[in-house]
Structure 1
């Protein structure tokens, strides 16, 4: 039983890899100098975005369509899982000139 228990993680990984199901990716968008960093080129539904605020000011990452609103105190980060495909414009509620766009693939 001991050797099977040791091999289960490997067997699961091989099954998962061979199933055609892609693992979720994780991307980081950093806020610095009162600007959002470049968003990932082709994120997919199920991927994770880590919003990192390196500024000394509080910011948000807020979707114009209200699908997300991440509050980011100075020197903090917040995580979200992308839940739907399509273009999503986002901005900072405290600094509306700070904007960006996610183009989420299915």
Structure 2
């Protein structure tokens, strides 16, 4: 019986434009992914994380009465009293109802100084300074 013996010859690839790019080591897909990742990192590098600022209501007062926040921060009113209160902006921009023993929250959307009060107890006042 005669043995079959294959002779292997190297395959020559015709150099085309695509092959030349691959041989040079430059990969457009990897470069695109790297560029997208860099853009994503830059987008999140400048954004700050929103904070939660708590204002406690007790004995018919807002505490602290003056609060500083940034745009995007969340203000939480924690009502420790046995009666309901509101946090109503004097400029009517927002009105938050806070039931007895509960909390309510609002996100600050624009910069400025906002004075607020309780509609049920007008002597309860507070001031919120929102910076960009």
Instruction: Assess same fold via TM > 0.5.
Output: yes
Match of 2:53 in 1: 27
Correspondence for 2:71 among 45, 49, 53: 45
Structure 2, unaligned runs of 5 or more? 1-40
Q: Go from structure 1 to structure 2 and tell me whether the alpha carbon gap of 1:86 and 1:79 turns closer, same or farther (over 3 Å shift).
A: same
Match of 2:112 in 1: 86
How far off its partner does 1:73 sit?
Answer: 1.1
Match of 1:5 in 2: none
Instruction: Give aligned pairs, total.
Output: 94
Runs of 4+ in structure 1 over 2 Å off: 15-18, 39-42
How far off its partner does 1:21 sit?
Answer: 1.1
Q: Go from structure 1 to structure 2 and tell me whether the alpha carbon gap of 1:40 and 1:95 turns closer, same or farther (over 3 Å shift).
A: closer
Per-residue CA deviations over 1:13-54 (Å, capped at 9, x if unaligned) read xx4896121011110001001100015643011000011110
Q: Give the TM-score normalised by the residue count of structure 2.
A: 0.65
